[in-house]
Structure 1
Amino acid sequence: MSGDTAGTVGAPAERRDAPPPRLWRNRDFMVFWVGEALSVYGTQITALALPLTAVLVFEVGPEQLGLLRFAQLVPFLGLALLFGVWVDRVRKRPVMLGANLSRLVLIGLVPLLYQFDLLTLPMLYALAFGVGVATVLFDVSWMSYVPILVKDRRSLLEANTKLNATLSSADVAGPGIAGALVSAVSAPFAMVANAFSYAVSVVSLLVIRAPEPPPPARETTRRLRTELAEGLRWVFGNRWLRAMGLVGCSCNFFLTMVQSLFLLYAVRERGLSAAAVGFVMGAAAVGGLLGAVIASTVVRRLSVGTAYRVSVSVIFLGPLLVPAAGGPQWLLMSLFVASFFLEYLGGSVSNVLIVSLRQAITPQHLMGRMTAAMRMLLYGGGALGGPVGGVLAGVVGLREALWVAGVLSALMLVPIVLSPVGRLRTMPTGPDDMPA
């Protein structure tokens, strides 16, 4: 990686001085934001209810639970790049509609099959995989669609702050709601709420008025291999994208490992109920909401690079508190909350910053492939973290595996400090507004 110091150059002074347009008056962005907010609330319910279905209905062990998480995330490894090429070729909104309709049906099948005693563990894996495929397609599309809705790239930080604030508020409310729903109606039936939220998201996408311009025409025949290579060269040839992608891959690997093991560890070795686990995750998610509120201020006060180093470092330190937690239940739960609070806080600030930076420095015609490559790295790390954690726990035990994950996670502070992203001073205003 280059050791060049970073600033931003090339943007006219008068454009920097003029404030970007506020998004409160952008009707189509606001409609999209509301629909996405409701869908992420539902997703947070399934994030707890789906693994609890495996734990409470099928009494799975750590290896099987890790495999369930792998089924959800492995589509990012195998399909993200292909979807990225396709999304760059077509309009994004119809793709997003199809993805959310698919998730509505697949999530809705879990309680339906359970009701008629047809749900099996292999079927649960298959449904989780299908939801993962649709999630890849939606994620690649919406991150490419936001710059179209926003238009002025200086407003991307505000857009991603708003989107991340609703995600963080869902992180706060979702686990508690999910825990209460699981206790009241069982884990499979709790997922009905998620299916309904996807239905609302579909309606919101249908009422967006802004026409989406067609992708630029190509004068030559499009070749899949050539377009894949072009996207990969852009991501891995850009030192900022490369650094963010590799650190993000490691982050998701360790966090998924810890979160997969934590559920079993908390329920089986620490005796926490589903409602107590939901309370821990909901209380900890306040950190994400706080991070979303302060993200823009942090970037302005500390500079882009310093905000990146501090926020990402906080994420990697959180996992150490899970195996270290002990004592009476109030102290145990307080340390569990503190661990995930740090992860949510750092993740919320860094997500706003990183997504805005990626969108700002990438040309629109490469947006889908850039997003796909980054999602492949990020969720590919998460996909591997689940089964690796499960195998490790099966060999050395749950708490010992959590200690290994926590220590290795903390060691990631070294590449974070050395990252070229840490030397950026301000948020760029476009692909040409980056240091040489």
Structure 2
Amino acid sequence: MEDTAAAGSAAPRRRGGGLWRNRDFLVFWTGETLSLYGTQVTTLALPLAAVLVFDASAEELGVLRFLQLVPFLGLAMLFGVWVDRVRKRPVMIGANAARMVLIGLVPALSAADVLNLPLLYAVAFGIGVAQVLFDVSWMSYVPVLVKDRRHLVEANTKLSTTSSSADVAGPGVAGVLVNALTAPTAMAVNAVTYLLSIVSLLAIRTPEPRPAKPERRRSIRADLVEGLRFVFGSRLLRAIALVGCACNFFSVMILSLFLLYAVRGQHLSAATIGLVLGVGAVGGLAGSALSGTVIRRVSVGKAYLVSVSGIFVAPLLIPAAGGSKLMVTGVFIASFLVFYASLSVANVVIVSLRQTITPDPLMARMTAAMRTLMHGGGALGGPVGGLLAGALGLHEALWLAAVLSAVMLVPIALSPVSRLHEMPAPAPVP
């Protein structure tokens, strides 16, 4: 997630409690928690600003979302090459500073009455670029603070728990702020949280060693190929990457179909759908809180097998739901509870495994390759789901997507990750 103080901090005071004595990790965790809650405000306020201020159409909202995601596909691998060559903390500070300024521009431009939709598009794209840069960096930075890789599971459990709590509470807080302040003005709150995150990063004392310079100058292409070769050359990372791509593909497809099916097929209100997703997200919070215990009590492989299987099987409940609206709503909630709880445990296992296996000089490129595959899968899931719904109908498309998702149990059961008893040793530097 090397100095004497940091090494001492990693020594556990009690089982599972080692990081409570690691000051710098706690500072980093606090800053991340604040920015995650703030991000929930922008996640809601940015599209609402487009709708409420500019009366944006569904197509224009689609463009807004696309501009936030497309940097992952186009820039993640290039950023990964660069981040592996430099210290991560200054990059993270710069990325959050960029997000703070860009998000702060929205209320400022709105107050000056010069905000328009093209400017909102530009802000969305800029935020997406900065998010890619930060995401590629922070996963590579955690092992700098957590020197003993046996504590990476604990670190990722803590980070996952606050991420899940932000998913649960964040939309409600964001809704209150947007209602009270207007959508553009509410984004100022997010700008402040990024400022606090920057302060937390500046307060970290653990020295970050400069990455060793290669004996000979290497091209960006050579470094990029080396990163991809490492990921796809490792049977464990390759299995994680392909399953993760499929997971995002089916998750985005099914969620997109679910929203339409819940409104048009089951005639649920927006408030009921919000309740389904909000209560479902509580499963993610519970999964994050229990993930460390689960991993300690069963093998790494079993934790991976059960949690990832839950992600792919839970969607079967959605098209199977029937009866009264109350029963349908209850089954929908059960589906999302299982999905989010499984996803939280799986994320802790997978991220910890990736960080344990990967040598520090390749950490950012590994993360970038994973991010590119996963966001690529997610980007394809929405359009494919739309094509299926147009050809088969919403309910039939949901059944087909859910059944195909469940078929992923076969490669998951055969995966070498599912047979791991404990975290493997780090791979040698190529």
**TM-score in same-fold range (> 0.5):** yes
TM class, shorter-length: 0.7 to 0.9
CA distance in 2, matches of 1:187, 1:400: 37
In the alignment, what sits opposite 2:269? 272
Asked if 1:320 is matched to 2:321, the reply is no
- Cα deviation code 1:337-377 (max 9, x no counterpart): 22222221111101111111111111111111111111111
Q: State whether structure 2 residue 232 is matched by structure 1 residue 240.
A: no
Q: Does 2:422 align with 1:426?
A: yes
Query: 2:152 is matched with which residue: 156, 162, 170?
Result: 156
The residue that corresponds to 1:224 in the other structure is: 220
Which of residues 358, 363, 369 in structure 2 aligns to 1:367? Answer: 363
Q: 1:382 aligns with which of 378, 381, 404?
A: 378
Code of the residue aligned with 1:28 in structure 2: it is D
Identity %: 66
Name the SS for the 1:209 alignment partner. coil
**Does the aligned pair in 2 maintain the 1:40–1:167 contact within 8 Å?**
yes
Shift of 1:155: 1.2
Q: Partner residue of 2:255?
A: 259
What letter matches 1:385 in structure 2? G
Using the TM superposition, give the Cα deviation of residue 100 of structure 1 relative to its aligned residue in structure 2, in angstroms: 1.0
**TM-fit CA distance, 1:132:** 1.6
- Higher mean C-alpha deviation, range 96-105 or range 402-411: 402-411
How many corresponding residue pairs?
Answer: 414
Look up the equivalent residue of 2:231 and give its one-letter code: V
**1:315-358 C-alpha deviation (Å, 9 max, x unpaired):** 11233334444554443433332222222111110111111111
2:57 matched to which residue of 1?
60
Q: 1:65 to 1:259 in 2, by over 3 A?
A: farther
Q: Relative to 1, partners in 2 of residues 1:115 and 1:282: Cα closer, same or farther, differing over 3 Å?
A: farther
Partners of 1:35 and 1:222 in 2: CA distance: 35
C-alpha displacement of 1:189: 4.4
TM-score by structure 1 length? 0.85
* 8 Å Cα contact 1:175-1:279 kept in structure 2: no
Aligned AA for 2:57? Answer: V
**Aligned with 1:128 (options 104, 124, 128):** 124
Q: Secondary structure at the match of 1:285?
A: helix
Alignment of 1:287-326 (within 5 A): 287-325=283-321
Equivalent pair of 2:16/2:154 in contact (CA under 8 Å)? no
Query: What are structure 2's unaligned runs of at least 5 residues?
Result: 1-10
One of 327, 338, 343 as aligned partner of 2:339: 343
Aligned mate of 1:210, from 196, 202, 206: 206
| C-alpha distance in structure 2 between counterparts of 1:261 and 1:142, whole Å | 32
Q: 2:26 aligns with which of 5, 22, 30?
A: 30
Indicate whether 1:353 and 2:333 are aligned.
no
- 1:79 alignment counterpart: 75
User: How far apart, in 2, do the equivalents of 1:119 and 1:404 lie?
Assistant: 43
Question: Please, which moves more after superposition, 421-430 or 360-369?
Answer: 421-430
- Equivalent residues of 2:248, 2:378 under 8 A apart: yes
2:138 maps to which of 137, 142, 147: 142
Check the 8 A contact 2:76/2:132 in 1, yes or no.
yes
Q: Name the counterpart of 1:412.
A: 408
Query: Is 1:331 aligned with 2:302?
Result: no
